[in-house]
Amino acid sequence: MNTEKQRNAEAIEIEGTKPDEGIVCLNCGAVCHSKFCPECGQPTSTPPRITHTSLAMTVAMSYARLTPGFWPTLIGLLRAPWKVIADYVNGKRITYSPPVTMLIQTVLYVTLILTVIKEITGVDFSFIADDSTDETIYANWIERALAESDVFVCLVTVTPIALAGFLTYRKRSRLRYNFAEFMVGAIYMANLFIIVDILCIPIEKLISDTVSDLVLYAVMSFYSLRTISKAFPIKSRWVRMRCLFQMTLLTIIGFAILCGLLVMLFWHQQVNV
């Protein structure tokens, strides 16, 4: 087998030659009969030489498609986030970008877009004001992460929401979803919140911050209520309203506990310093 691969690899060095059947993989020399090499997985359409065009396309695609599934996930979240969440939780995952990966990609794109807008308009729309300096002293790594990492902030923020959803709907669903699956849904909704926030920038720029915030929270309230009703359908209107109230109350309590823990942690660190 190795001899055959070596012979095939030597054959492709001569322009215009290839094995009698199939395509020779440029990576391992195996004979391929499909779009991908069965031995190493490299696409059979890989050009033998790097050209200016192929290099430019590689750079563009590396940035525009960091992982397979970014654009389907983005469009799916805007059209029907409940379907994205249900598909991913139920095992249909090859189409979508994983939730945390999607969050990192979204923050990357948002940072790029906001940087370009800032350069053009001179207005900073960043989520976290960049008023820190190199001389800033953080009490611990958690404080530094909260101050400098949008991804970490999102993950910490969605945790009480996911926990509230789990405690509210864990016995209402036929499939009995666990906390990790509720966390997946919460992270996807955080992605959607960031995307909608970016889309509201023109309203904030042309009209006012208040109108932009109203539109943002109105759209996200619609998406959230729709997602909950689709993901965890309950026939009884009274039970549905009661579950929604319970989840809202648990979310508020969770945020209060989280904020209290962070305040206690930072205050304790400051006292020790």
**Mean pLDDT of all residues in the chain?**
77
Distance of CA 109 to the CA centre of its chain: 11
Distance from C-alpha of 81 to C-alpha of 190, rounded to nearest angstrom: 11
* Residue 228: closest CA among 213, 214, 247, 249: 247
Examine the pLDDT at 204 and tell me if it is beyond 70.
yes
Examine the pLDDT at 43 and tell me if it is beyond 80.
yes
Q: What is the DSSP string of 31-99?
A: EESSSB-TTT--BTT--SS--HHHHHHHHHHHHH-SSTTHHHHHHHHHH-HHHHHHHHHTT--TTS--H
Considering only 98-102, 147-151, 261-265, which range has the smallest mean pLDDT?
Answer: 147-151
Q: Output the pLDDT for position 16.
A: 43
Examine the pLDDT at 223 and tell me if it is beyond 50.
yes
Cβ atoms of residues 88 and 99 within 8 Å: yes
What is the mean pLDDT of the segment spanning 68-74? 84
Distance from C-alpha of 56 to C-alpha of 53, rounded to nearest angstrom: 5
Cβ atoms of residues 47 and 74 within 8 Å: no
List helix spans (H) across the chain: 2-11, 52-64, 70-79, 81-89, 99-121, 141-148, 150-169, 179-199, 201-206, 209-231, 237-272
Give the torsion sign (CA, 127, 129, 133, 139): negative
Q: Give the model confidence (pLDDT) of 84-142 as tens digits.
A: 998 998 888 888 988 988 888 888 877 777 777 777 776 665 554 444 444 455 555 55
* pTM attached to this predicted model: 0.69
Q: Give the model confidence (pLDDT) of 156-178 as tens digits.
A: 889 999 999 999 888 776 667 88
